[in-house]
Each structure stands twice: as C-alpha cells, then as structure tokens.
A and B are shown apart, each in its own frame.
Chain A
Amino acid sequence: MATAVQTPEEAKGIRGRGSSALLTTALIFPAGLWYVLLLVAPLIIVTIFSFGNRAKNGGYEAAFTFDNYVRLLTQTQRMEPFFTSLWMAVAGTIGCLLVGLPLAYFIATRTTRHKGLFILLLVIPFWTSFLIRTYAWLIVLGRENVGGFIGSLIGDADFRILGTPAAVLVGLVYGYLPLMVFPLYVTLERMDRTLVEASKDLGAGRWATFRQITLPIALPGLITGSILVFIPMMGEYVIPQILGYGRTFLVGNALVDAFVQTRNWPFGSAMAVLLILVMLITITFYVWFVNRGRHGREVSVL
C-alpha cells in the first residue's frame, strides 16, 4: 500500500488559500476521535492489562506484575501457538510466492490488451466474503471430494485433509494470494523489457537472465507482497477455526481462548502485546529494507 505523501510545498500551497484553523479541526476531528477512542485507547488498555492479574471470576484486577510475560516466554506450551503461527505464516508466504510469482510474471509480460481483465479476475474473489471463500474449501477438501480422492490414491481410507495443518495452509494461500500478486505485478509491469533483451543478446540463458535481471527488479514487489501476506497470516483466526477444526492452534485462536473461554484478560493481553511486537519488528525490518540507500527522502512505504 504505497501512498505518496504530500510534499510540504504542496501542503503549503493549499494552506495559503483561505484556510481557517476551525475548518481544519472540524475536518480532522471525527477521524481523529475514532483513532483515539477505538484504536489508541483499546491498545493502551490491553498494554496496561498485560501487567495485571486475573480477577477471581475472570477479567482484570489491577496490579503491576511481569508474571504474564514471564509465563508466556518461559513456558514452551504457552509459546507454541506463536511458533505454529510463525511457521504457518512462513510456509503460507512461500506458497503465495510460488503460486503468485509465475502468475504475476505472466500477467505483466505475456498479456497485452487483456491486462485489466486478468487483474479484475484477481480482484473479484478478493472482493467476496472471506468467510464464504474459506468454508467453500470444506466442501472441496472433504472426504467426498479431494480428501477422499487422495485417500483412495494412497489406499488409506482414513485419510483426511480437513482438520490438519495442510488444510489451513491451503486456506491461507488461497485467501491471501492476491495481496502477493498485486505488488509483484506492479513491479514486473514497470520493468524495462529491453534489459531482458540485452541480457539475452549478451548470451545469457533464461535462468541467468531471470536470476540476474528479473528477480532483482521484482525484489521490492516481492518483499512488499511477502509482508502483505505474512502479517495477516500471522494473526489469522477464521481459517484455522474452520479448515483446521480449531486443532491447528494459532495465536489468534490462543487469544480468543484466553479472552473469551478462560477469561484470563491479563494473559491474553500479554499475548496480544507480543503479537503486535512481532508485527512491528517485521515492519521495521521491511521499512529498513525498502529505505536502504534512499536517505533524505520522505517515503511512506506500506
């Protein structure tokens, strides 16, 4: 989601004309109020709660303790959802890449008049309900269809896909694929094709050209796409719940368990804070990567 940020000159040019502080405040106020009340406040509350104790009947009891973090970070069993989420998100990102890169490459370099149509066909499923697209795989992967078919191929009548990490992985790749393809497509589309021609004229093979020309050019899109799919996968809740029957226990499921089932709000809050930290570290790494060698310019990346 790269959005060019208004340059200060432009902003000044607009500010110069008949501006009034009152109007500016009125314009920004509602959105600002929403950010403060429904984003900043909840996140601050969760952070405060993460240092508290669980009340007897569940919920929060004021305290200042690091117990929740200590328990979370030292008990392997408590950290397990994080590791499961991490490897599922990494596997899902690689899956999206393997499926998405050739697709983006095809759309960017092999289609001519129908580019818009190809992109539209990618957007349409993305536009439809995530929940419906996910539960549809219950039918596709079920015992009567793909699951049973694979089972009969390998001669195992008890073979199941649903309820396993494999089903969750299929759901993840399916659900987030377009987010990988869009940025890849944008970078590949802008690629200067004469570079490829030049590489070939200089005797480089297909693989060498791909590795030394196409891939480096596609890298920013590849990284952006990876971040765009990795982050929501890391916090996914619906897909493991439906396709994994809740057995593939990701951070999202652990959070719901803590907040709603056991009503241990402080412990859940500690998990939430840790999850947000993981995201922030990922983003910071990403921003650092994108801004390498581009100092002094105001670049808004995500």
Chain B
Amino acid sequence: MSAPAVPVAGPATLGRGTKAGVDRWGGVIELWLRAHTAIVYAFLYLPIVIVVLFSFNANRLATIWTGFSLEWYTTALGDEVVQAALLNSFSVALPNAVLATAFGTMAALGLQRVGRKLRTTFDALTYISIIVPEIVIALSTLVLFASSFSFINDTLGTRIQLGIPTIIAAHMLFNISIVLLLVRARLSGMDRTMVEASYDLYASPWRTFRQITLPQLLPAIVAGFLLAFTFSFDDYVITSFVSGPGSSTLPIFIFGQVKRGVSPETNAVATMMLVFTLAMLALGQAALTRNARRSGGRQAGGMAGMIAETNG
C-alpha cells in the first residue's frame, strides 16, 4: 500500500522552531504529522485504486484477485444497456453544462446591475439551492413534475412524462448556483481599472465586455462549465428520481449493479467514468494554467485553487 506520490517536505523545514533537548516531543510530533498525512492520502486513494484494479480482474467475483484481463471492458462496451446509459449521460450532462454556464454567468453579470434588495434575494436563493439536501430537492422536484404532468395530461390529453429533459432541468438548478458563485467571486476580485481604462478609451460596453471582462472571467466560466458537466455526469440522487423509462444514466446503471453485488463489469464501467472525469479535470487545469500564464494572473492554483477558494 504505497501512498500515491506524497512528496515529503525537505529536511530544512522540519526542525524549524524546535529546540533540541528542550522539546523532546517535537520529533515524535513531526513524525506523527507526516505519518498521518501519508495514511490519509492512502485512505483517499485506496478505494479508487481498488475499483480500477479489480476492473482488470480475470475472475467473475469482484472481490478476489486472480489475474489480469481486459475481458470486462469488452463486455461492458458491448453491453447495450451500458451503451444506452452512456448516451443518456452525455445527452444530459452536455446541454445541462452549456445552459447552466450561460445562465449562471449571465445572472452573475446582471446582478451587478441591480439594486441591493433583488441581489440579496438572489443570493439567498443561491445558498438555499446549495444548502437544501439533494434528496429533498430530488423528491420535491419529483412531486412537482408528477403533479403538474398529471394535471397537464388530464386536461390536454397529452402524454408528457419524466425523461431526459426533466433530468436536465433538475440538474441545472444546482449548476446555475455553482456557476453563479464562481463567476461572482471572480467578478468581485476583478481589477476595475482596466474596465475604466477601456471606457476612457471610448470602447463600447460590448467591446469592453468582450476584450476586458470576459477574458478575466474565463477561468471561472471554464471551471463552472466543468463542474456543471461532472456534477451532472456523476449525479445519482436527483437523476434517479426525475428520470423516466429509458432515460437511465451511467450512475443509475452502476447503482443497480451494486445493489446486486459488485461485478467486474461494474468496475470497468466505473473506471471508464473515472478516467473520463479526470481527463476533464486535467483539461480544465491545463486551460486555466495557460490562461493564467498568458494574462500573468495570480490564479496559479488553477482549478484546484479555485475550488478550494470557493469552498473556503
């Protein structure tokens, strides 16, 4: 069980501030801190590593290792249920991310232009949408959809039902809030003098937005888009309650499999999902780093820093 590349602080930083002889527990505490950190990182990665490892297991049983095989990937990719779920996952995540990013960014920009009362209301709703437990949102949205659909269908004789559009709509609520928070945080930390300068040089509002504001907001917008996409791609709780017949996504497939006992095929599907979302993270990180370097910005922490900042 090796910790995944946990770099250890150089010896120079180690004994600083500890006086040998006076503080004999210093060394023990330093050792404990390091050991603790290494163990926690191992704890964080162990389950993920195990899922990936067992997806290559030659055995039908998911829990005992017998040998290396790619068999489960072939099985998974050839499985029509998996193919349909994969297609559904993308059909949900992509439109959701595009729309949520657009609406969230627009609202962040618009909120700068409104009075304090409306802004406070909006802020309150944003926080409520994040604070209210996902399961409550999921069930109350289900009740809303079910009640209104049965009413519409009864009066108009239509046959509207739950499906991919309802999943997209439900996911967008949370994602608009996330994008809104990220973009607003970025806006409030933005250098206003550039905008002033642009106006002083007689640039139109639209041009100022395109050439000054938008490039500065881009890291937050990219991060928001990727967060929205991944949330939607990985979400189980909301999806499972507002999905209809034939609109199962990958997480729903995995949950169903897990309930029947983890199979190597489950692990193979999970591994592909992991690889995909991590590739997205890497892509976002790369885009942000390049953007930061080009604009000489301080956002050196990239995506990770941005997420940590928003959480802080």
A interface residues (Cβ-Cβ under 8 A, vs B): 1-6, 8, 10-11, 13-15, 17-19, 23-28, 30-32, 34-35, 38-43, 45-46, 49, 60, 99, 102-103, 105-107, 110-112, 114, 116-133, 135-140, 142, 144-145, 174, 177, 179, 182-183, 185-186, 196-197, 200, 205-206, 221, 224, 228, 231-232, 234-238, 242, 252, 255-256, 259-260, 265, 268-269, 272, 275-276, 279, 283, 300, 302
User: How many angstroms from the CA of A45 to the CA of B139 in the assembled complex?
Assistant: 11
Contact indicator B251/A131 (Cβ below 8 Å): yes
Chain B residues with CB under 8 Å of A27's CB are: 106-107, 109-110, 113
Write 24 A-B pairs (CB below 8 A) sorted by A numbering: A1-B310, A4-B188, A6-B111, A17-B199, A19-B113, A23-B110, A35-B173, A38-B173, A39-B128, A42-B144, A45-B140, A116-B300, A116-B302, A131-B234, A133-B48, A135-B254, A136-B47, A174-B44, A200-B17, A205-B23, A231-B131, A238-B236, A255-B136, A259-B143
Q: Is B169 an interface residue (CB 8 A)?
A: yes
Given A3-B181, A3-B188, A106-B34, the answer on whether A275 and B133 have CB atoms closer than 8 Å is yes
User: How many angstroms from the CA of A46 to the CA of B169 in the assembled complex?
Assistant: 19
Q: Is B112 an interface residue (CB 8 A)?
A: yes
Chain B residues with CB under 8 Å of A183's CB are: 311-312
Contact indicator B205/A17 (Cβ below 8 Å): yes
User: How many angstroms from the CA of A128 to the CA of B272 in the assembled complex?
Assistant: 11
Q: Of B69-77, B78-86, B119-127, B152-160, which stretch is located at the interface? A: B119-127
User: How many angstroms from the CA of A138 to the CA of B48 in the assembled complex?
Assistant: 12
Q: Is the interface of A mostly helix, strand, loop or mixed?
A: helix
Which of A13, A99, A131, A256 has the largest count of B CB atoms less than 10 A from its CB? A131
User: How many angstroms from the CA of A147 to the CA of B46 in the assembled complex?
Assistant: 15
Contact indicator B180/A283 (Cβ below 8 Å): no
Q: Is B98 an interface residue (CB 8 A)?
A: no
Chain B residues with CB under 8 Å of A205's CB are: 23
Contact indicator B189/A129 (Cβ below 8 Å): no
With contacts A17-B199, A99-B43 known, what are 6 further pairs, Cβ within 8 A?
A28-B118, A120-B304, A131-B258, A132-B270, A231-B133, A235-B133
Contact indicator B136/A129 (Cβ below 8 Å): no
Chain A residues with CB under 8 Å of B133's CB are: 231-232, 234-236, 252, 275, 279
Contact indicator B122/A32 (Cβ below 8 Å): yes
* Pairs of residues from A and B, 8 with the lowest C-beta to C-beta distance, nearest first: A235-B133, A27-B110, A136-B47, A31-B107, A42-B140, A186-B312, A28-B110, A129-B234
Within 8 A of A (CB), among B160-217: 169-170, 172-173, 176, 180-181, 184-185, 187-189, 192, 199, 204-205
Contact indicator B192/A10 (Cβ below 8 Å): yes
Among residues of A, the one whose C-beta sits closest to the C-beta of B47 is A136
Within 8 A of A (CB), among B40-68: 40-41, 43-48, 50-51, 54, 62-64
Q: Is B2 an interface residue (CB 8 A)?
A: no
User: How many angstroms from the CA of A27 to the CA of B107 in the assembled complex?
Assistant: 5
Chain A residues with CB under 8 Å of B228's CB are: none
Within 8 A of A (CB), among B85-127: 99, 102-104, 106-107, 109-114, 116, 118-119, 122-123, 125-127
Among residues of A, the one whose C-beta sits closest to the C-beta of B189 is A4
Given A4-B188, A5-B188, A139-B54, the answer on whether A46 and B131 have CB atoms closer than 8 Å is no
> Using a Cβ–Cβ cut-off of 8 Å, how many residues does chain B contribute to the interface with A?
116
Chain B residues with CB under 8 Å of A39's CB are: 125, 128-129, 132, 137, 173
User: How many angstroms from the CA of A54 to the CA of B246 in the assembled complex?
Assistant: 29
User: How many angstroms from the CA of A96 to the CA of B67 in the assembled complex?
Assistant: 36
Partner of B4, one of A19, A34, A99, A121: A121
Partner of B180, one of A31, A133, A142, A300: A31
Q: Is B291 an interface residue (CB 8 A)?
A: no
User: How many angstroms from the CA of A138 to the CA of B257 in the assembled complex?
Assistant: 12
Given A102-B33, A102-B36, the answer on whether A110 and B143 have CB atoms closer than 8 Å is no
Which of B13, B103, B135, B192 has the largest count of A CB atoms less than 10 A from its CB? B135
Given A41-B144, A105-B33, the answer on whether A32 and B254 have CB atoms closer than 8 Å is no
Given A31-B107, A131-B254, the answer on whether A186 and B139 have CB atoms closer than 8 Å is no
User: How many angstroms from the CA of A114 to the CA of B33 in the assembled complex?
Assistant: 16
User: How many angstroms from the CA of A106 to the CA of B50 in the assembled complex?
Assistant: 27
User: How many angstroms from the CA of A106 to the CA of B270 in the assembled complex?
Assistant: 32
Chain B residues with CB under 8 Å of A3's CB are: 181, 184-185, 188, 310
Contact indicator A144/B48 (Cβ below 8 Å): no
